[in-house]
A and B are shown apart, each in its own frame.
Chain A
Amino acid sequence: MQWLLDLTPDEWNAVRLSIRVATVATICSLPPGITIALLLARGRFWGKAVLNGLVHLPLILPPVVTGYLLLLTFGKRGPAGAFLDQYFGIVFSFRWTGAALACGIMAFPLMVRAIRLSIEAVDTRLEAAAGTLGASPIWVFGTITLPLIVPGILAGMILCFAKAMGEFGATITFVSNIPGETQTLPSAIYTYTQVPGGDACALRLTIISIVIAMAALVASEVLARRVGRRLDVE
């Protein structure tokens, strides 16, 4: 047990950084995730298939390709990167924010899928009933749709968090593997497997990864069950 918790500063950094990156990626993905899930579930507009394809692209592209595209777009000289740097002072390349962006993009399709499925499961007749009681569409969303899709949102967030914790290819391509800045758990494990005598450290971080992933899963189960009991869906 002592062996497991006796981490070097670099290892601690990797654990902390991974949790921070995954949390930021999850929270920042949520508003656009819900919006796009709503559009895909309910919207009828030109280009819906294109949007659907774009959202799912990171799921089917090799992660290295996604990371390289991010580097081209959000890198220091990339169009979006240069713009954000110049006007907002936000820099992604070789920063932990870039890792969060890469993880968020890679996990986004999973989050959208989970939320979209739960929106499609909502009985629109309940929403119509709320309308006849005087609720405008925004109120209907806030008081009927949103509470009913909470389990789906939670599931989407957990999936997103877990995916972000494990993201490797796009992150290392986009923001490299700088200890203390962009070296997340997977990158650190990879690094230790490449140096002689690093096996013990790699195993330690692997166990920590498993524990964090399991904790997230259990937390989501507990939350979903509590929400489910409250919903008591017929």
Chain B
Amino acid sequence: MSLSVDIRHRLGAFSLEGAFTTSGRLTALFGPSGSGKTTLVNLIGGLLRPDAGRIAAEDRVLVDTSRGIFVAKYRRRIGYVFQDARLFPHMTVAQNLRYGRFFTPASERYGDIEGVVELLGIGHLLERRPGSLSGGEKQRVAIGRALIASPRLILMDEPLASLDDRRKAEIMPYIERLRDETKVPIVYVSHSIAEVARLATDMVVLDTGRVAASGPTTEILQRLDLLPEEERAEGGTVVDMAVVGKDETFGMSTLASGAGEIQVAGLDAQPGTIIRVRIRARDVIVATEKPRGISALNILPGKVIAVSAGDGPFSDVQMDCNGQTVTARITRQSASQLGLAPGLEVFAVVKSVTFDRSNIARTNTGELAAPASTSVDNVS
């Protein structure tokens, strides 16, 4: 499934203009508030009609203003999970779930109700009314309702934004299961790097109504200059690593990646488990000689690929550590004093690695454990 968007739309003083194509399983539309994310999903879902442009899903043209094509939202078969759930108050949870199924041609129904109810863990809510559900439960029912309508694409507009951290942690694993276990591609609106890094395979960065970048999440998150100012500290390297060893004496685990082995603490996972870890650029120190007598355990040899120019106080250094790109955010002063330039042999000292605990619990035991927290900062 590929989605291609090329539109121009004006809403009062705000204008949205941009083009991107994605075929990711979960594509994040990422940007600060007011960057046009919701407008963009509303255009894809058919809730808004663009002033000009073209939107196509696979080879099905949904909007083409030059040819006068505009497919109504109820004919698009695009599911939409709203920030505010929008469950129908006069129906039970079960009736809400079945609602969209009625309008789907029998030959195109793939979302079986029992499967979805089980996937989202909402079996005990079926007879209840939406008014009596918690925020997290509402959002899960809303996801189920969209899924049972058997859509070809699901849009999620910040489904976690109105929830507290506990509820977020409660829903994230379900969205991951949706991404991994169903074939429906997802477009996910978010303004949080942590969410995007965890969930998205691909991402589109929006900035004041313009598409600033689009591509695989791992590549985009390395490019700190593409991220909005206030989220830059969260950017960095996202990489999947395999657990290869465990040391009981010190409670350390060893993860292997292209860049070399990394040791982390507090990771309760069996060898063989794949874990998505994020190495924030601000947690990486650059050294021109191999440091000795230092508490940091993870020192990766590499070569400088690029040093970002600019007149801000910070400088982003991209290093090639045995094929894996690692980004460090250091002061421009240090970059200048160390004489960092492309080609220079350096060592990346990783102060801390961020990974998801619930992610591990899932791959570890094969079923969902109650997630205690979204992420763990691992200082080693």
Contact = CB atoms under 8 A, between A and B. Distances in A.
B43 to A, nearest CB: 13
B47 A128 contact: yes
Nearest to A129: B86
Interface string B80-108: 10101010111000000001101110000
Given A139-B103, A234-B131, A126 B47 contact: no
Contacts of B99: 130, 133, 135, 143
Interface stretch (B10-18, B71-79, B276-284): B71-79
B84 A130 contact: no
Contacts of B130: 234
Q: How large is the interface on B (under 10, 10 to 19, 20 to 34, 35 or more residues)?
A: 20 to 34
Contacts, number: 76
A26 B41 CA distance: 45
Contact of A230 (B72, B74, B90): B90
A130, A134, A137 pick with most chain B CB within 10 angstroms: A134
Contact of A134 (B84, B104, B132): B104
A157 to B, nearest CB: 19
A4 B212 CA distance: 83
Interface string A123-150: 1011011111111110110011001100
B84 A131 contact: no
B149 A134 contact: yes
Contacts of A231: 89-90
Contacts of B78: 132
Interface in A112-129: 123, 125-126, 128-129
Contacts of B100: 133-135
Contacts of A137: 74
Contacts of B77: 134
B140 to A, nearest CB: 16
A234 B90 CA distance: 10
A132 B88 contact: no
A37 B199 CA distance: 46
A125 B86 contact: yes
A166 B132 CA distance: 43
A6 interface: no
Contacts of A144: 88
A125 B74 contact: no
Contact of B73 (A131, A233, A234): A131
A136 B71 CA distance: 12
Nearest to A144: B88
B90 A129 contact: no
Interface string B209-249: 00000000000000000000000000000000000000000
B82 A129 contact: yes
Contact of A132 (B45, B90, B104): B45
A147 B99 CA distance: 14
Given A125-B86, A132-B76, A134-B100, 5 more contacts: A131-B73, A132-B78, A133-B149, A232-B90, A233-B90
15 contacts: A128-B73, A129-B82, A129-B86, A131-B74, A133-B99, A133-B146, A133-B149, A134-B77, A135-B100, A139-B103, A143-B99, A148-B89, A230-B90, A232-B89, A232-B131
A-B CB proximity, top 8 nearest: A134-B103, A133-B100, A132-B80, A129-B86, A234-B131, A131-B73, A232-B131, A232-B129
Interface of B: 45-47, 72-80, 82, 84, 86, 88-90, 99-100, 102-104, 129-132, 145-146, 149
